[in-house]
Protein backbone atom coordinates (compact mmCIF):
# COMPACT_ATOMS: atom_id res chain seq x y z
CA UNK A 1 0.00 0.00 0.00
CA UNK A 2 2.53 2.56 -1.14
CA UNK A 3 1.47 6.17 -1.43
CA UNK A 4 2.46 8.10 -4.56
CA UNK A 5 1.74 11.84 -4.95
CA UNK A 6 0.58 13.11 -8.30
CA UNK A 7 1.18 16.49 -9.88
CA UNK A 8 -0.27 19.60 -8.38
CA UNK A 9 0.60 19.94 -4.68
CA UNK A 10 -1.85 22.38 -3.16
CA UNK A 11 -1.34 24.75 -0.29
CA UNK A 12 -2.97 24.99 3.09
CA UNK A 13 -6.26 24.05 4.65
CA UNK A 14 -8.13 27.25 3.77
CA UNK A 15 -11.10 25.82 1.85
CA UNK A 16 -9.80 22.36 0.98
CA UNK A 17 -12.16 19.43 0.50
CA UNK A 18 -10.87 15.86 0.77
CA UNK A 19 -12.63 13.21 -1.32
CA UNK A 20 -11.51 9.65 -0.66
CA UNK A 21 -12.17 7.63 -3.78
CA UNK A 22 -12.36 10.94 -5.60
CA UNK A 23 -11.33 9.56 -9.00
CA UNK A 24 -14.24 7.12 -9.01
CA UNK A 25 -17.60 7.68 -10.62
CA UNK A 26 -19.32 9.60 -7.82
CA UNK A 27 -16.12 11.21 -6.57
CA UNK A 28 -15.24 12.52 -10.02
CA UNK A 29 -18.65 14.18 -10.42
CA UNK A 30 -18.46 15.64 -6.92
CA UNK A 31 -14.91 16.93 -7.45
CA UNK A 32 -15.94 18.52 -10.75
CA UNK A 33 -18.83 20.38 -9.11
CA UNK A 34 -16.72 21.60 -6.19
CA UNK A 35 -13.81 22.70 -8.36
CA UNK A 36 -16.23 24.46 -10.72
CA UNK A 37 -17.40 26.45 -7.70
CA UNK A 38 -13.82 27.51 -6.96
CA UNK A 39 -13.06 25.00 -4.20
CA UNK A 40 -9.68 23.32 -3.76
CA UNK A 41 -10.15 19.55 -3.96
CA UNK A 42 -7.74 16.94 -2.64
CA UNK A 43 -8.37 13.47 -4.06
CA UNK A 44 -7.10 10.35 -2.34
CA UNK A 45 -7.56 7.29 -4.55
CA UNK A 46 -5.58 4.12 -5.24
CA UNK A 47 -6.81 4.10 -8.87
CA UNK A 48 -7.67 0.40 -8.65
CA UNK A 49 -10.92 0.52 -10.64
CA UNK A 50 -11.03 0.53 -14.42
CA UNK A 51 -11.61 3.98 -15.87
CA UNK A 52 -10.67 6.04 -12.83
CA UNK A 53 -7.31 7.15 -14.24
CA UNK A 54 -9.23 8.66 -17.17
CA UNK A 55 -11.53 10.41 -14.72
CA UNK A 56 -8.58 11.86 -12.83
CA UNK A 57 -6.85 13.03 -16.00
CA UNK A 58 -10.06 14.73 -17.11
CA UNK A 59 -10.44 16.49 -13.75
CA UNK A 60 -6.87 17.78 -13.79
CA UNK A 61 -7.09 18.91 -17.41
CA UNK A 62 -10.39 20.68 -16.72
CA UNK A 63 -9.56 22.32 -13.38
CA UNK A 64 -5.78 22.58 -13.21
CA UNK A 65 -4.37 23.26 -9.76
CA UNK A 66 -7.79 23.22 -8.10
CA UNK A 67 -7.45 19.43 -8.24
CA UNK A 68 -4.65 17.78 -6.29
CA UNK A 69 -4.34 14.03 -6.21
CA UNK A 70 -2.49 11.53 -4.07
CA UNK A 71 -2.42 7.93 -5.25
CA UNK A 72 -2.77 5.98 -2.02
CA UNK A 73 -4.90 3.39 -0.29
CA UNK A 74 -7.44 4.40 2.37
CA UNK A 75 -5.63 1.97 4.67
CA UNK A 76 -2.33 3.90 4.41
CA UNK A 77 -2.44 5.54 7.84
CA UNK A 78 0.22 8.22 7.45
CA UNK A 79 -1.08 9.43 4.08
CA UNK A 80 -4.65 9.56 5.35
CA UNK A 81 -3.56 11.55 8.41
CA UNK A 82 -1.66 14.06 6.24
CA UNK A 83 -4.61 14.49 3.89
CA UNK A 84 -7.15 14.93 6.70
CA UNK A 85 -4.95 17.57 8.37
CA UNK A 86 -5.41 19.76 5.28
CA UNK A 87 -9.18 19.45 4.92
CA UNK A 88 -12.16 21.35 6.27
CA UNK A 89 -14.61 18.88 4.77
CA UNK A 90 -14.30 15.18 3.96
CA UNK A 91 -16.42 13.03 1.67
CA UNK A 92 -15.62 9.37 2.27
CA UNK A 93 -16.34 7.42 -0.90
CA UNK A 94 -13.33 5.06 -1.05
CA UNK A 95 -14.52 1.47 -0.80
CA UNK A 96 -14.53 -2.06 -2.08
CA UNK A 97 -17.86 -1.78 -3.87
CA UNK A 98 -18.97 -5.22 -5.09
CA UNK A 99 -20.89 -7.93 -3.25
CA UNK A 100 -19.35 -10.57 -5.53
CA UNK A 101 -15.81 -9.47 -4.72
CA UNK A 102 -16.58 -9.57 -1.01
CA UNK A 103 -17.66 -13.20 -1.36
CA UNK A 104 -14.35 -14.10 -3.00
CA UNK A 105 -12.13 -12.21 -0.54
CA UNK A 106 -13.97 -11.18 2.64
CA UNK A 107 -10.73 -10.22 4.39
CA UNK A 108 -9.82 -7.64 1.76
CA UNK A 109 -13.39 -6.34 1.76
CA UNK A 110 -13.31 -5.84 5.53
CA UNK A 111 -9.88 -4.23 5.56
CA UNK A 112 -10.88 -1.60 2.99
CA UNK A 113 -14.45 -0.85 4.01
CA UNK A 114 -14.40 -1.27 7.77
CA UNK A 115 -10.76 -0.89 8.82
CA UNK A 116 -10.11 1.79 6.19
CA UNK A 117 -13.03 3.82 7.47
CA UNK A 118 -11.79 3.49 11.04
CA UNK A 119 -8.36 4.75 9.94
CA UNK A 120 -10.05 7.82 8.46
CA UNK A 121 -12.21 8.40 11.54
CA UNK A 122 -9.21 8.26 13.85
CA UNK A 123 -7.36 10.74 11.64
CA UNK A 124 -10.33 13.11 11.88
CA UNK A 125 -10.68 12.65 15.64
CA UNK A 126 -6.99 13.55 16.12
CA UNK A 127 -7.46 17.06 14.65
CA UNK A 128 -7.77 20.13 16.85
CA UNK A 129 -10.48 21.33 14.45
CA UNK A 130 -11.96 18.10 13.02
CA UNK A 131 -13.30 18.40 9.47
CA UNK A 132 -16.92 17.43 8.84
CA UNK A 133 -17.58 14.09 7.15
CA UNK A 134 -20.29 12.66 4.88
CA UNK A 135 -19.98 8.90 4.38
CA UNK A 136 -21.58 6.98 1.51
CA UNK A 137 -23.03 3.77 2.89
CA UNK A 138 -25.41 1.42 1.06
CA UNK A 139 -28.95 0.08 1.14
CA UNK A 140 -27.36 -3.36 1.58
CA UNK A 141 -27.24 -2.63 5.32
CA UNK A 142 -30.96 -3.54 5.30
CA UNK A 143 -30.31 -6.96 3.75
CA UNK A 144 -33.24 -8.56 2.00
CA UNK A 145 -35.70 -6.57 4.13
CA UNK A 146 -36.68 -9.39 6.49
CA UNK A 147 -40.34 -9.32 7.43
CA UNK A 148 -41.35 -7.73 4.12
CA UNK A 149 -43.41 -9.92 1.79
CA UNK A 150 -42.96 -9.50 -1.96
CA UNK A 151 -45.11 -10.44 -4.93
CA UNK A 152 -44.52 -10.29 -8.68
CA UNK A 153 -46.64 -7.68 -10.42
CA UNK A 154 -46.09 -7.93 -14.15
CA UNK A 155 -42.43 -7.20 -14.89
CA UNK A 156 -41.59 -6.11 -11.36
CA UNK A 157 -41.60 -7.14 -7.72
CA UNK A 158 -43.26 -5.07 -5.06
CA UNK A 159 -44.05 -5.36 -1.36
CA UNK A 160 -47.51 -6.59 -0.44
CA UNK A 161 -47.77 -3.83 2.15
CA UNK A 162 -49.36 -0.89 0.32
CA UNK A 163 -47.90 1.73 2.66
CA UNK A 164 -44.36 0.48 2.12
CA UNK A 165 -44.89 0.27 -1.64
CA UNK A 166 -46.09 3.86 -1.71
CA UNK A 167 -43.38 5.38 0.46
CA UNK A 168 -40.30 3.20 0.16
CA UNK A 169 -37.90 2.00 2.85
CA UNK A 170 -37.31 4.44 5.69
CA UNK A 171 -34.44 4.65 8.16
CA UNK A 172 -36.57 2.90 10.78
CA UNK A 173 -36.13 -0.35 8.81
CA UNK A 174 -34.09 -2.73 11.02
CA UNK A 175 -30.49 -3.26 9.94
CA UNK A 176 -29.82 -6.76 8.67
CA UNK A 177 -26.32 -7.02 7.22
CA UNK A 178 -26.12 -9.60 4.44
CA UNK A 179 -22.98 -10.70 2.55
CA UNK A 180 -19.45 -9.70 3.63
CA UNK A 181 -19.95 -6.44 1.72
CA UNK A 182 -23.10 -5.64 3.67
CA UNK A 183 -21.26 -6.43 6.90
CA UNK A 184 -18.21 -4.30 6.13
CA UNK A 185 -20.18 -1.29 4.88
CA UNK A 186 -22.64 -1.71 7.73
CA UNK A 187 -19.82 -1.74 10.27
CA UNK A 188 -18.37 1.42 8.74
CA UNK A 189 -21.84 3.01 8.72
CA UNK A 190 -22.26 2.34 12.44
CA UNK A 191 -18.73 3.52 13.30
CA UNK A 192 -19.38 6.86 11.58
CA UNK A 193 -22.62 7.36 13.49
CA UNK A 194 -20.97 6.36 16.76
CA UNK A 195 -18.02 8.73 16.30
CA UNK A 196 -20.53 11.53 15.73
CA UNK A 197 -22.45 10.66 18.88
CA UNK A 198 -19.64 9.53 21.18
CA UNK A 199 -16.96 12.03 20.22
CA UNK A 200 -19.20 14.87 19.05
CA UNK A 201 -17.73 14.88 15.54
CA UNK A 202 -19.71 16.45 12.66
CA UNK A 203 -20.59 13.37 10.61
CA UNK A 204 -23.56 12.02 8.65
CA UNK A 205 -24.29 8.85 6.65
CA UNK A 206 -25.99 8.36 3.29
CA UNK A 207 -27.47 4.88 2.74
CA UNK A 208 -27.58 4.99 -1.02
CA UNK A 209 -29.58 3.18 -3.64
CA UNK A 210 -28.45 2.81 -7.28
CA UNK A 211 -26.56 5.84 -8.61
CA UNK A 212 -25.87 6.29 -12.33
CA UNK A 213 -24.51 8.91 -14.71
CA UNK A 214 -21.47 10.16 -16.65
CA UNK A 215 -18.00 8.93 -15.70
CA UNK A 216 -19.43 5.59 -14.59
CA UNK A 217 -17.58 2.67 -16.13
CA UNK A 218 -20.11 0.08 -14.98
CA UNK A 219 -19.36 -3.61 -14.61
CA UNK A 220 -21.47 -6.69 -14.06
CA UNK A 221 -20.71 -6.44 -10.33
CA UNK A 222 -21.28 -2.72 -9.76
CA UNK A 223 -22.81 0.16 -11.71
CA UNK A 224 -25.40 -1.98 -13.45
CA UNK A 225 -27.23 0.84 -15.29
CA UNK A 226 -24.03 1.91 -17.10
CA UNK A 227 -23.08 -1.74 -17.61
CA UNK A 228 -26.39 -2.49 -19.30
CA UNK A 229 -26.08 0.55 -21.58
CA UNK A 230 -22.48 -0.27 -22.51
CA UNK A 231 -23.33 -3.88 -23.37
CA UNK A 232 -26.38 -2.91 -25.40
CA UNK A 233 -24.56 -0.18 -27.34
CA UNK A 234 -21.70 -2.62 -28.05
CA UNK A 235 -24.06 -5.34 -29.26
CA UNK A 236 -23.12 -7.68 -26.42
CA UNK A 237 -25.49 -9.84 -24.40
CA UNK A 238 -26.61 -8.76 -20.94
CA UNK A 239 -26.92 -11.38 -18.19
CA UNK A 240 -29.72 -10.91 -15.68
CA UNK A 241 -29.23 -12.73 -12.39
CA UNK A 242 -32.64 -13.86 -11.19
CA UNK A 243 -35.73 -13.19 -13.28
CA UNK A 244 -35.16 -9.48 -14.00
CA UNK A 245 -38.15 -8.32 -11.98
CA UNK A 246 -35.86 -6.81 -9.30
CA UNK A 247 -36.83 -3.19 -8.67
CA UNK A 248 -34.55 -0.31 -7.69
CA UNK A 249 -34.97 3.43 -7.36
CA UNK A 250 -32.21 4.89 -9.50
CA UNK A 251 -30.71 8.32 -8.86
CA UNK A 252 -28.85 10.44 -11.38
CA UNK A 253 -25.44 11.47 -10.09
CA UNK A 254 -26.05 15.22 -10.37
CA UNK A 255 -28.89 14.86 -7.88
CA UNK A 256 -26.66 12.91 -5.52
CA UNK A 257 -23.96 15.60 -5.75
CA UNK A 258 -26.59 18.17 -4.79
CA UNK A 259 -27.46 16.09 -1.74
CA UNK A 260 -23.84 15.52 -0.71
CA UNK A 261 -23.00 19.23 -0.83
CA UNK A 262 -26.23 20.10 0.96
CA UNK A 263 -25.38 17.62 3.73
CA UNK A 264 -22.05 19.32 4.31
CA UNK A 265 -23.71 22.73 4.34
CA UNK A 266 -26.22 21.53 6.96
CA UNK A 267 -23.92 19.19 8.87
CA UNK A 268 -24.56 20.98 12.16
CA UNK A 269 -28.19 19.85 12.15
CA UNK A 270 -27.64 16.50 10.38
CA UNK A 271 -24.71 15.14 12.37
CA UNK A 272 -25.19 11.73 13.94
CA UNK A 273 -27.98 10.70 11.55
CA UNK A 274 -28.28 8.33 8.61
CA UNK A 275 -30.37 9.14 5.55
CA UNK A 276 -31.72 6.89 2.82
CA UNK A 277 -30.80 8.49 -0.51
CA UNK A 278 -32.05 7.33 -3.89
CA UNK A 279 -34.42 8.17 -6.70
CA UNK A 280 -37.42 7.43 -4.50
CA UNK A 281 -40.82 6.21 -5.62
CA UNK A 282 -40.84 8.55 -8.65
CA UNK A 283 -37.76 6.91 -10.17
CA UNK A 284 -38.29 3.17 -9.79
CA UNK A 285 -37.55 0.67 -12.50
CA UNK A 286 -37.14 -3.09 -12.74
CA UNK A 287 -34.29 -4.58 -14.73
CA UNK A 288 -36.72 -5.77 -17.39
CA UNK A 289 -38.44 -2.38 -17.57
CA UNK A 290 -35.10 -0.63 -17.97
CA UNK A 291 -34.13 -2.86 -20.88
CA UNK A 292 -37.55 -2.31 -22.48
CA UNK A 293 -36.78 1.42 -22.66
CA UNK A 294 -33.62 0.94 -24.72
CA UNK A 295 -35.14 0.72 -28.24
CA UNK A 296 -36.94 4.04 -27.91
CA UNK A 297 -34.22 5.80 -25.93
CA UNK A 298 -31.01 4.64 -27.61
CA UNK A 299 -32.19 2.81 -30.75
CA UNK A 300 -30.90 -0.57 -29.56
CA UNK A 301 -32.69 -3.70 -28.37
CA UNK A 302 -30.69 -5.59 -25.75
CA UNK A 303 -29.80 -9.27 -26.10
CA UNK A 304 -30.60 -10.85 -22.71
CA UNK A 305 -29.66 -14.10 -20.99
CA UNK A 306 -30.54 -15.28 -17.48
CA UNK A 307 -28.62 -16.92 -14.65
CA UNK A 308 -29.19 -17.85 -10.99
CA UNK A 309 -29.93 -15.26 -8.31
CA UNK A 310 -26.85 -13.91 -6.56
CA UNK A 311 -26.38 -13.89 -2.75
CA UNK A 312 -27.71 -10.79 -1.01
CA UNK A 313 -29.74 -9.52 -3.97
CA UNK A 314 -32.92 -7.73 -2.93
CA UNK A 315 -36.08 -8.42 -4.99
CA UNK A 316 -37.18 -4.84 -4.35
CA UNK A 317 -35.61 -1.80 -2.80
CA UNK A 318 -36.94 1.75 -3.01
CA UNK A 319 -35.65 4.56 -0.80
CA UNK A 320 -37.93 6.69 1.29
CA UNK A 321 -36.03 9.98 1.12
CA UNK A 322 -38.56 11.83 3.24
CA UNK A 323 -36.27 12.33 6.23
CA UNK A 324 -33.60 14.09 4.17
CA UNK A 325 -36.26 16.14 2.34
CA UNK A 326 -37.80 17.25 5.62
CA UNK A 327 -34.42 18.38 6.95
CA UNK A 328 -33.03 20.01 3.79
CA UNK A 329 -35.71 20.36 1.09
CA UNK A 330 -33.74 18.11 -1.30
CA UNK A 331 -35.45 15.95 -3.86
CA UNK A 332 -34.34 14.38 -7.17
CA UNK A 333 -34.78 16.51 -10.28
CA UNK A 334 -33.59 14.24 -13.12
CA UNK A 335 -36.09 11.61 -14.27
CA UNK A 336 -35.20 8.13 -15.48
CA UNK A 337 -35.52 8.76 -19.23
CA UNK A 338 -33.53 12.00 -19.12
CA UNK A 339 -30.84 10.42 -16.96
CA UNK A 340 -30.49 7.38 -19.21
CA UNK A 341 -30.16 9.58 -22.29
CA UNK A 342 -27.48 11.73 -20.65
CA UNK A 343 -25.49 8.68 -19.60
CA UNK A 344 -25.84 7.05 -23.03
CA UNK A 345 -24.61 10.20 -24.76
CA UNK A 346 -21.62 10.40 -22.43
CA UNK A 347 -20.76 6.74 -23.05
CA UNK A 348 -20.74 7.26 -26.81
CA UNK A 349 -18.95 10.62 -26.63
CA UNK A 350 -16.31 9.04 -24.39
CA UNK A 351 -15.97 6.25 -26.97
CA UNK A 352 -16.72 3.70 -24.30
CA UNK A 353 -18.48 1.64 -27.01
CA UNK A 354 -17.39 0.91 -30.62
CA UNK A 355 -18.21 3.78 -32.98
CA UNK A 356 -20.25 1.56 -35.32
CA UNK A 357 -22.68 0.89 -32.47
CA UNK A 358 -23.12 4.51 -31.41
CA UNK A 359 -26.80 4.85 -32.20
CA UNK A 360 -28.06 6.98 -29.35
CA UNK A 361 -31.33 8.67 -30.31
CA UNK A 362 -31.19 12.44 -30.72
Q: Which residues belong to the active site?
A: 181
Q: Using CB atoms within 10 A of its CB, is residue 296 exposed (0-12), middle (13-18) or buried (19+)? A: exposed
Q: Using CB atoms within 10 A of its CB, is residue 70 exposed (0-12), middle (13-18) or buried (19+)? A: buried
Task: Please compute, for residue 240, the number of CA atoms within 13 A of its CA located in the half-sphere on the CB side.
Answer: 18
CB atoms near residue 38 (< 10 Å): 9
Query: Residue 111 gets which letter from DSSP?
Result: I
CB atoms near residue 361 (< 10 Å): 13
CA distance 359 to 362: 9
CA distance 106 to 101: 8
Q: Using CB atoms within 10 A of its CB, is residue 12 exposed (0-12), middle (13-18) or buried (19+)? A: exposed
Amino acid sequence: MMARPLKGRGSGKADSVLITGGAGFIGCNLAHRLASEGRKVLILDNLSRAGVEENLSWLQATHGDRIEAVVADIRHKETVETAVARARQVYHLAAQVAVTTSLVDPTHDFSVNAAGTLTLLEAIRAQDEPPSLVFTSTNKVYGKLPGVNFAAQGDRYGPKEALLAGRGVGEEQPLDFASPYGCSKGAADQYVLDYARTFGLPMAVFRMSCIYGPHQFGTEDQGWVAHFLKRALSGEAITLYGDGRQVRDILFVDDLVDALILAQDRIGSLSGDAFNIGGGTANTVSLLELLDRFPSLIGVKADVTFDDWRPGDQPWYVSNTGRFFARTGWRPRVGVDEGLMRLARWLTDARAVPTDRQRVAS
